[in-house]
């Protein structure tokens, strides 16, 4: 069996519940998978400390077992899938090769349970109806008080531990690390001054068991106020207190989510009718007796209700579905609010259904009209949202927590944009610990002091330990969770009292998740936890680089190239003038974009085609020999113009005062550009702004970008060459998505040599071994490639897999269609300084006619083959065929290009 075939049959995903084939008594949860694993390499001695840390091979999974807590990496064939958990709002597929996906509308789990202490099993299968409603608070819980919405940031717990030697001890701590039924010698923390135990001098044992927990104090960050209040009323609602003790918590209203009763293996629950309990302590003693009615979920069977893109709804066994881990940027589902961006206007609409295979969508416009459009013309998420509020996006999703604005008012945004509101208070961002002492700092220290103080009070009866009953306020009608999206545009929202209301989109605002805000600042915690275990040698090993054979080497900062500036070299006006007879070789390190494996560039076939860019020749590139002898001389590949054009992205920036070193280096850069630029790259700089450049790159042959113009503006700051050049890409996609994973719509160019992608140090900009020429050819050779989808981080490893092929094909079609629009944009609104060059390339040399002919041929071929299986057709072509949606979108562009071509011919007759 080939590697490609094996990879296409990947069986498991993270959070899958699996069972060992050779030992059915051992079941566990998948915590790592090769296909979605993209961690940094871990030093070998750390791998030995945790068997799950070593690099995964294809078809391997990392599993954590439930009963023994063992962790191992094994081949997928050694496991059997028991259950596949989903949550409401998750996206799924039936098969990896499918292009149609669905959204999980609801989840139903039946399960088996056993008592957390006695391990006695409850007979038969249980359902959500058997679960007792609780007011259990966890970190991240959403609560309401006095018209304010807040999120629990941390909890100080007080636990009752039954000792293996007999008796009880109270354990107060701010970690939330323990649950009822946990057992072991690590239950009791090391003795600490002032800690209040029922029995002093206890000795930890493997039989120590947690029998009760209460949340002594919780810390709540209040993020936003009721949006139905008038501005005067809202101003009168003072932000509630930060800390809430166990008696005050009853004033809070817990917002229950749709998945509140969706259980997974390992969850601990209470049952409405507990068939048995365990008793701890003496009923008549002064300390009281604890009854434990908590049960472990030990087995699950999940079914989900799925809304497919074609509008059908189906109840499916979750094991028959796959998580859609790499959704297409145009994926949308019935009820979604999107923006249709065509040649004429931008129109908001509601998706009625999607033909994923043909990449078309039926839309209901806000004026009541129904249109069939290509998904390539849809902005699904709000890609041109205000950059200062990047979380604002189109519409709402099932599971979103939303504020409901008053009748007659709106969220202040134009449909279909929905704002995200709710900011964490400043205290939430305080560092967790003091770097000097390692002790809690800021509000965590206050919470710890408050919780410890309460624990030192006169010990209560142990049977008083239990869950606080929160306020069941049923009058809250201004906040809830999105339950469903109607095809007429209304949004169904479930209120805290379980009532369902239908609300127009413009009356909703989404709640910003506070934990996500913290993750943006502190990260996901992985790097921090790893740093704690690594010394400087470990870190140096991770900050190394990887060779093509997969071997990692420590980065050597002394390994530099030959571009060192001679600081004593005088820079003058003459230094900047070009001497085309000078021959200077350009350095050529192995540069990479986001993808860890560089890709070969395609070879061009004419004077503005491409050529391999992994090496840069010091000789000028000749014009295609097949070109007519009497044709005009090609435009200069490098030129210095008198003044910078006003449409340059950095035109309004402050011009640098060039230093002698700056001008000396610039002279060398100019010489390299004069002699070594490929035919398909044209660079211009300016006498009045030596810190600015503009380059035009023509897309390489047999890539989705062939024949298309890509314009990037550059600025050299005063620290150049010590700092890399700054790039701005002119994206002409009309807000319909990126044309390449590394080229952002707002202008960012993601490339390691530019410092905009965290590649290996050896790939980063270096004044000694990097050059402008390298930056230009890297974009052509490592970004504008045949299969651009694999430029995304961690996608390179999916090359050859079924899922990788599907996603790459869809992305390449999108890139091809959008880049045809670049041709039109360059001709209709030529960039300053490039007017003659664009005319020469597309009119004089006939490239426009070539673009039209190739595209029309592809359209005709795709129409003839509609309905046939063309997965392997002309597999060597970057874009062998188009979907119906691709044909529709490209046809519209071709109509405009043909009109442009015809108009030019008329004017030149």
The verdict on residue 755 lying in a domain is yes
- The CATH code of the domain that includes 829 is 3.10.110.10
Is 796's pLDDT higher than 70? yes
Residue 220, pLDDT score: 96
φ, ψ dihedrals at 365, nearest 5°: -75, 160
- The CATH code of the domain that includes 380 is 2.30.30.140
Is 327's pLDDT higher than 90? no
Domain match, 370 and 327 both: yes
Domain match, 446 and 353 both: no
The verdict on residue 386 lying in a domain is yes
Domain match, 76 and 162 both: no
- Which three-class secondary structure state does DSSP give residue 216? strand
CA 589-595-600 angle, to 5 degrees, is: 60
Mean pLDDT computed over 419-441: 86
Domain match, 238 and 299 both: yes
Domain match, 413 and 439 both: no
Is 387's pLDDT higher than 60? no
Domain match, 746 and 831 both: yes
Residue 865 pLDDT level (bands cut at 50, 70, 90): confident
Residue 798 pLDDT level (bands cut at 50, 70, 90): confident
Percent with pLDDT over 70 in the chain: 79
Host domain of residue 735: 638-908
pLDDT digits (tens, 9 = 90+) for 544-581: 333 333 343 343 444 444 555 444 443 333 343 333 33
Is 667's pLDDT higher than 90? yes
Domain match, 361 and 495 both: yes
Q: How far apart are CA 82 and CA 77, in angstroms?
A: 14
Give the least confident one: 38-52, 129-143, 586-600, 807-821.
586-600
The verdict on residue 340 lying in a domain is yes
Catalytic residue among 33, 92, 635, 750: 750
The verdict on residue 195 lying in a domain is no
Pick from 390-394, 495-499, 505-509, 582-586 the range whose average pLDDT is largest: 505-509
The verdict on residue 120 lying in a domain is yes
Residue 179 class from Cβ within 10 Å (0-12 exposed, 13-18 middle, 19+ buried)? middle
Last-in-domain residue among 500, 518, 536: 518
- Return the number of other C-beta atoms located less than 10 Å from residue 401's C-beta: 20
Give the least confident one: 326-330, 411-415, 505-509, 819-823.
326-330
Residues paired with 19 in a beta bridge? 27, 80
pLDDT digits (tens, 9 = 90+) for 172-218: 888 778 899 999 888 887 655 555 554 556 778 899 999 999 899 99
pLDDT digits (tens, 9 = 90+) for 208-256: 999 999 899 999 999 999 999 999 999 999 999 999 998 899 999 999 8
Domain match, 698 and 792 both: yes
Residue 191, pLDDT score: 58
Domain match, 297 and 394 both: no
Is 799's pLDDT higher than 60? yes
Percent with pLDDT over 90 in the chain: 56
Give the torsion sign (CA, 376, 378, 381, 386). positive
Domain match, 401 and 437 both: no
Which stretches within 475-566 are classed as H helix? 514-522, 526-533, 536-542
The verdict on residue 581 lying in a domain is no
- Return the number of other C-beta atoms located less than 10 Å from residue 368's C-beta: 6
The verdict on residue 28 lying in a domain is yes
Give the least confident one: 316-320, 364-368, 473-477, 891-895.
473-477
Domain match, 36 and 79 both: yes
Q: How far apart are CA 332 and CA 336, in angstroms?
A: 6
Annotated active-site residue 750? The verdict is yes
Give the H/E segment covering residue 355: strand 346-355
Is 43's pLDDT higher than 90? no
Which stretches within 435-543 are classed as H helix? 442-455, 514-522, 526-533, 536-542
Residue 623, pLDDT score: 34
Domain match, 288 and 268 both: yes
Single pTM value for the model: 0.82
User: What is the count of structural domains for the chain?
Assistant: 4
Is 863's pLDDT higher than 50? yes
Residue 201, pLDDT score: 67
The verdict on residue 441 lying in a domain is yes
Is 588's pLDDT higher than 90? no
pLDDT digits (tens, 9 = 90+) for 469-528: 777 777 899 999 999 999 999 999 999 888 999 999 999 999 998 877 777 665 544 333
């Amino acid at each position: 069996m080939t590697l490609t075939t094996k990879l296409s049959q990947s069986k498991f995903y993270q959070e899958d519940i699996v069972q060992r084939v050779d030992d059915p008594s051992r079941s566990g949860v998948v915590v790592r998978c090769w296909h979605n694993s993209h961690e940094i390499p871990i030093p070998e001695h750390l791998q030995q400390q945790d068997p799950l840390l070593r690099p995964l091979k294809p078809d391997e999974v990392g599993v954590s077992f439930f009963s023994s807590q063992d962790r191992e990496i094994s081949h997928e064939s050694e496991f059997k899938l028991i259950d596949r958990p989903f949550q409401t709002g998750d996206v799924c597929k039936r098969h990896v090769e499918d292009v149609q996906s669905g959204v999980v509308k609801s989840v139903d789990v039946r399960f088996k349970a056993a008592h957390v202490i006695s391990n006695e099993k409850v007979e038969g299968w249980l359902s959500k109806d058997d679960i007792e409603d609780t007011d259990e608070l966890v970190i991240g819980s959403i609560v309401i008080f006095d018209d304010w919405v807040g999120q629990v940031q941390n909890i100080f717990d007080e636990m009752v531990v039954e000792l293996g030697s007999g008796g009880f001890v109270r354990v107060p701590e701010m970690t939330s690390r323990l649950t009822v039924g946990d057992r072991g010698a690590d239950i009791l923390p090391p003795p600490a001054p002032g800690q209040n135990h029922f029995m002093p001098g206890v000795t930890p044992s493997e039989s120590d068991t947690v029998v009760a927990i209460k949340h002594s104090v919780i810390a709540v960050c209040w993020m936003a106020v009721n949006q139905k209040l008038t501005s005067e009323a809202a101003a009168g609602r003072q932000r509630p207190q930060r800390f809430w003790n166990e008696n005050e918590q009853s004033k809070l209203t817990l917002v229950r989510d749709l998945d509140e009763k969706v259980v997974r293996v390992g969850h601990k629950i209470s049952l409405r009718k507990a068939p048995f309990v365990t008793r701890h302590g003496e009923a008549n003693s002064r300390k009281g007796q604890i009854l434990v009615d908590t049960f472990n979920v030990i087995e699950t069977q999940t079914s989900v209700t799925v809304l497919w893109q074609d509008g059908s709804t189906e109840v499916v066994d979750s094991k028959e579905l796959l998580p859609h881990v790499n959704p297409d940027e145009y994926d949308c589902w019935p009820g979604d609010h999107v923006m249709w961006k065509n040649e004429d206007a931008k129109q908001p609409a509601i998706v009625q259904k999607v033909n994923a295979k043909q990449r078309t969508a039926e839309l209901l416009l806000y004026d009541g009209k129904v249109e069939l459009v290509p998904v390539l013309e849809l902005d699904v998420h709000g890609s041109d949202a205000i950059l200062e509020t990047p979380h604002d996006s189109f519409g709402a999703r099932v599971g979103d927590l939303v504020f409901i604005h008053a009748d007659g008012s709106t969220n202040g945004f134009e449909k279909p944009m929905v704002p995200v509101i709710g900011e964490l208070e400043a205290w939430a961002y305080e560092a967790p610990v003091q770097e000097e002492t390692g002790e809690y700092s800021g509000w965590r220290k206050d919470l710890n002091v408050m919780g410890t103080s309460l624990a030192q009070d006169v010990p209560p009866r142990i049977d008083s330990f239990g869950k606080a009953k929160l306020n069941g306020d049923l009058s809250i009608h201004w906040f809830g969770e999105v339950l469903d999206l109607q095809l007429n545009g209304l949004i169904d929202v479930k209120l805290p009292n379980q009532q369902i209301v239908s609300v127009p989109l413009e009356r909703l605002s989404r709640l910003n998740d506070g934990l996500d805000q913290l993750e943006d600042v502190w990260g996901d915690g992985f790097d921090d936890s790893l740093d704690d275990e690594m010394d400087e040698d470990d870190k140096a090993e991770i900050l190394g680089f990887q060779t093509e054979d997969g071997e990692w080497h420590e980065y050597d900062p002394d390994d530099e190239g030959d571009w060192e500036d001679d600081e004593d070299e005088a820079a003058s006006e003459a230094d900047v003038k070009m001497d085309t007879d000078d021959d200077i070789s350009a350095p050529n390190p192995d540069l990479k974009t986001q993808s860890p494996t560089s890709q070969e560039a395609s070879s061009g076939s004419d004077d503005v085609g491409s050529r391999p860019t992994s090496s840069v020749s010091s000789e000028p590139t000749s014009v295609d020999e097949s070109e007519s002898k009497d044709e005009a001389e090609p435009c200069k590949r490098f030129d210095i113009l008198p003044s910078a054009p006003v449409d340059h992205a950095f035109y309004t920036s402050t011009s640098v005062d060039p230093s002698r070193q700056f001008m000396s280096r610039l002279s060398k850069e100019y010489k390299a550009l004069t002699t070594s630029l490929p035919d398909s790259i044209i660079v211009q700089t300016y006498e009045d702004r030596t810190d600015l450049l503009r380059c035009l790159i023509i897309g390489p042959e047999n890539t989705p970008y062939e024949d298309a113009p890509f314009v990037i503006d550059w600025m050299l700051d005063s620290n150049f060459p010590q700092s890399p050049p700054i790039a701005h890409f002119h994206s002409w996609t009309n807000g319909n998505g990126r044309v390449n994973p590394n080229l952002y719509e707002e202008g960012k160019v993601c490339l390691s040599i530019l410092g905009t992608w965290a590649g290996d140090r050896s790939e980063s900009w270096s004044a000694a071994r990097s050059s402008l020429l390298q930056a230009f050819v890297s974009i052509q050779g490592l970004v504008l490639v045949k299969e651009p989808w694999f430029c995304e981080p961690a996608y390179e490893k999916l090359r050859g897999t079924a899922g990788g092929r599907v996603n790459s094909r869809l992305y390449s079609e999108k890139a091809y269609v959008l880049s045809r629009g670049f041709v039109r944009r360059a001709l209709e609104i030529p960039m300053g300084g490039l007017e003659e060059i664009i005319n020469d390339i597309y009119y004089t040399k006939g490239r426009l006619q070539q673009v039209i002919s190739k595209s029309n041929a592809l359209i005709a071929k795709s129409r003839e083959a509609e309905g046939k299986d063309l997965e392997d057709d002309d597999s060597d072509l970057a874009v062998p065929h188009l979907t119906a949606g691709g044909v529709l979108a490209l046809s519209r562009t071709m109509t405009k290009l043909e009109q442009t071509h015809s108009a030019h011919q008329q004017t030149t007759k």
